[in-house]
Structure 1
Amino acid sequence: MQDSIIKFFINIKRKFINVCKNIDNKYFTKYSIRKNVFISSIIFFSIAMFILNYLTPLLVDDYSFGYINGTETHIVSIKDIIYSMYNYYFTWGGRVWGEFYQQLFTLLGKPIFNVLNTIIYIVNTLLIYYACNEAKKAKVSLYIGINLLIWFFTPNYGQVMFWLSGSSNYLWLITPVLIMILIFRKYSINQDIIKNNLISAFIIFVLGILAGWANENASAGMLVILTLYIAYYYVNNISICRYIISGYIGSLIGFILLISAPGAYVRKAVEQSAVHTTIIFRLFMITYFWVAFVLGMFIILAIVLFIGKRYFDLKKNNSIYQSVIFVMASIGSAYGMIASPTSPERTWFCIVVYLSISIGILYEKIDFEVTDLEESTILMFRRIAVAVMLIAFCNFWVMYLDAIMSTYEVLNQTKAREQYILSEKLKGKLDISTVVISHKYPLLAHHDASYGLDDITPDPNYFSNKALCKYYGLNSIIGVPAKEKQYLN
């Protein structure tokens, strides 16, 4: 009886192994099917991101971008936006391209923003993917893994991805940064990737200016990467062509324009007067955030490095060194924020991106099709990979549904507030008290755009109160707890 039971389970195991081999032979190694799965994963994340963009209403600062900076004049054209950027540069900060996107999307309208913001998310994830992937074949697990790493580890994810103001300053501004990184990374592998002529040199010079003139810690981290790649070219006897030089010079010029903006000193003085923190305290807080936000990514990096070094060829194209480049950039981006009196959690987005590339460069070398490992070892790795991916996807779905419910709740409250304000205006009332939007739903995933943002307050002079007041053409507006108003159910 005992022998029969043992034979039964042995047969089950053999059948399972054969099924896995058949799946592997028919699907995982077949290029056309793998390419279709890759495209399907892009479509999946596009739909997922669009739904959350669609459900996210205007929040906080979003109500204030319809006017030329520092004036009461409505923005009605690109010319007005450029003038507003000029005012912003001299009165508040160097991040003028974030200001450009904020006001452009306000001019175009939220529905258009929802579509464009979804597209730029996909563009950025593909830029990260191609920065990691040296091979021409589609690697589905790498692309999905990049999306999941960004989803799980980006602090205040919704502020970066769905909030119009936050997305304009982080998701959109990292695009030229990633393009520059991709150019330098691909050049280390193939020096003929781009034609070395004056036109290429000029285009990449302009792109470098935009990348350096993005936002402070992302651009600083990019300069670390570009500098280390130039050192990499020198050590490996790779000739440095004109577009690499022009791109690097452009990036330096852009970064100088960013940090030397007259308005940046005005803003720094205001923030220092409001928040008194010492350099030692900021150093401690950055280290604390490092542990809280990205320690898990370092654990993943260590595991991938161990497996890659033990079983695969990580020496090819100096993958370990290139991975270290992005680790160094993440450290530089993080501790570069010590110069700022305040650093919102969403500023860690670029650090998560750089660490994702670092992990992806090593993970891309784990290729079962070109290894001489035994079939049993390969099968073991595939089982582990599938198990990890399933667990990660289950967590993603739970968090995603949580984000949808909490975002939908905020959307309903925002619509009800707007109806109330408009009805009060029809009665001739221009001094209004309205409900502070809050999460009645027990927020768990913290992935909706409103998480971590301040709504209006009882103080009519608070910045979000004044923004909402200006948007609706009111004299004043104050926020009160939900229990004091009953029009929201």
Structure 2
Amino acid sequence: MHVFELDDKWRKRLFILEVITCYLTVLFFMIMTPLLGDDFNYYAIARNANSFWELFVQEYEQYMGWTGRSVAHIVLRTVFYFDAVMLFNFISAGVFVLLSLCIYAHIDRKRKYDIRLYLLIVLMIWIFGVSFAETILLKYASCNYLITTGIIFGFLTLYRHWLKAKSKGGLLRCIGMFLFGVVAGWCSENTSGGAILLLLIYFVIIFYNKKYNVGQTDNTLSVAMYGNKIMPWMITGFIGMIIGFAFMILAPGNYVRASFTEEEHSGIVGMLARIQKTTLLIRDNFLILIGVFIVLLIILRIIGKTWKELHNMLLYGFLFLATAYSLIMTAEPQGRAFFGAGIYLTIAICQGFSDIKLEDSKELTKVFYAAGSCLVALMFVHMFFEYVDCGTDLGRIYREETERDVYLTQKASEGATEVTVPMLRPDFDNKYTFAYVLDITEDPGYWTNTEMETYYGIESISGVERESWTEY
């Protein structure tokens, strides 16, 4: 046993401690993120519903007139209808942990209770997660990205677990996977599309194994992983995803929304412009991670790993590219839309990281393993200081937002029609808040102002510099 090795009992305890710490740290940041931007708009609309079932009427109207992401918006409307924002914070923090555990579950050949690997996964999401302050901490955006991605990977993880176990299942599993598939397919255009592509790859591998009569006892990796039989629940789950995906992308509102976007070029030139925009966004969001992926791939080949042994890393790397470049179908792709693609790339990198084993007899492998451990330790130290610094600023922003909320609520109850409130102090801006992007402005007609006006029922709300404010 190596000097830093722990027995299974201690590794299990530390692994559970990591999971609990992961939950508590993200929960604090979620609680410290108040309602912002579109939260006010959705909250006001949901509050006007006369019954819970009217939320579905509201969503149908949005489905017909704006977007097909009904799963995310039904969750959001439900939270606001029942005024359950704090409960939502606890649930979404749980989804964050679930997503991290799903990433962990998708990595092959890992050791039992691999605390080093799980810590890397969590740190990668915190440090490199796409638009973390928006996709994870904002209420309406987390429904569109964190919650939906959690649903998709929950489905994929269960699917993959039963696939590897060669489990047949029964009628209930077929029905359950169909329904789960419908919901997972109806979550996110590119991330759900990537999940469908993954299932198709599974089918291709299984068909290949069956066509060439590869036996279950064969040492071929594809057989050991996927077998050579397609079970009924696999088909129903796949069909469910296709149906849910079709409902989402064929929503009439998507075409209405697209009509508001004007492109400078059309035809081949227009498509090249889209490819350029998407490529630049990939560069901006993933350049470091793509570099890490390439370095890991080279290291693994140097220490003697075969291409077949690297199949899982390559598979998720391919899914990252496919999911990211699927956004060329969008005229104006947004950075946050790459959140799901980032999760696929995270799995690919962590798979490569995990495949550098300390147990390997080669001295070079041990050197790379030690370098990887040092990297994780440095990432942890960096994240510790970043968390303390940004967490303190989030608390200050929360205080100012709370003071403003109390003041606006009071003014609304008094029947005020024109109200001026202070904007946020610029000193507290940091990586883990989107409050400054969505803060009110001096113009009461600006969209962030109008959404607050709708929420509070005040005709005009304008902002002033915090230093000029004297009311409280």
CA distance in 2, matches of 1:347, 1:117: 19
The structural deviation recorded for 1:292 is 1.9
CA distance in 2, matches of 1:234, 1:362: 27
What do the CA deviations read for 1:113-160 (whole angstroms, capped 9, x no partner)? 111111111111111111114557211111111111112222321111
Aligned residue number for residue 200 of structure 2: 227
The structural deviation recorded for 1:379 is 5.2
AA partner of residue 400 (structure 2): Q
- Structure 1, unmatched stretches of 5+, are 1-19
- Of 18, 23, 36 in structure 2, the residue corresponding to residue 46 of structure 1 is 23
CA distance in 1, matches of 2:83, 2:106: 32
1:358/1:77 CA distance change after superposition, 3 Å: farther
Q: Secondary structure at the match of 1:366?
A: coil
After TM superposition, the structure 1 = structure 2 runs for residues 306-345 of structure 1, keeping only pairs within 5 Å, are 306-311=298-303, 313=305, 318-345=308-335
Aligned residue number for residue 432 of structure 1: 419
CA distance in 2, matches of 1:401, 1:469: 34
CA distance in 2, matches of 1:215, 1:170: 8
CA distance in 2, matches of 1:432, 1:319: 64
- TM-score norm. by structure 2 comes to 0.88
1:450/1:428 CA distance change after superposition, 3 Å: closer
CA distance in 2, matches of 1:425, 1:233: 63
The structural deviation recorded for 1:173 is 0.5
- Of 190, 212, 226 in structure 1, the residue corresponding to residue 185 of structure 2 is 212
Aligned residue number for residue 384 of structure 2: 397
Q: Secondary structure at the match of 1:56?
A: coil
The structural deviation recorded for 1:21 is 3.2
Aligned residue number for residue 33 of structure 1: 10
The structural deviation recorded for 1:477 is 1.5
1:341/1:436 CA distance change after superposition, 3 Å: farther
AA partner of residue 461 (structure 2): I
Count, aligned residues: 450
Quick check: 2:443–2:462 contact (8 Å CA) kept in 1?
yes
- Structure 2, unmatched stretches of 5+, are 211-227
The structural deviation recorded for 1:229 is 1.9
Aligned residue number for residue 132 of structure 2: 157
What do the CA deviations read for 1:99-118 (whole angstroms, capped 9, x no partner)? 11211222242211111111
Quick check: 1:457–1:480 contact (8 Å CA) kept in 2?
yes
- Of 103, 108, 121 in structure 1, the residue corresponding to residue 77 of structure 2 is 103
AA partner of residue 140 (structure 1): I
The structural deviation recorded for 1:214 is 0.4
CA RMSD of aligned residues (A): 2.4
CA distance in 2, matches of 1:462, 1:276: 26
CA distance in 2, matches of 1:438, 1:220: 41
What do the CA deviations read for 1:43-68 (whole angstroms, capped 9, x no partner)? 11111111111111111111122344
1:383/1:93 CA distance change after superposition, 3 Å: same
Query: Which structure has the greater CA radius of gyration?
Result: 1
The structural deviation recorded for 1:188 is 5.2
Quick check: 1:95–1:214 contact (8 Å CA) kept in 2?
yes
Aligned residue number for residue 366 of structure 1: 356
What do the CA deviations read for 1:10-64 (whole angstroms, capped 9, x no partner)? xxxxxxxxxx93332xx1xx11111111111111111111111111111111112
Return 259-268 or 219-228, whichever deviates more. Answer: 219-228
Matched, 1:248 2:235: no
- TM-score norm. by structure 1 comes to 0.85
Quick check: 2:420–2:461 contact (8 Å CA) kept in 1?
yes
Return 106-115 or 378-387, whichever deviates more. Answer: 378-387
Quick check: 2:285–2:335 contact (8 Å CA) kept in 1?
no
CA distance in 2, matches of 1:337, 1:162: 23
What do the CA deviations read for 1:341-370 (whole angstroms, capped 9, x no partner)? 32222111111100011123333333334x
1:159/1:442 CA distance change after superposition, 3 Å: closer
Matched, 1:56 2:48: no
The structural deviation recorded for 1:377 is 5.2
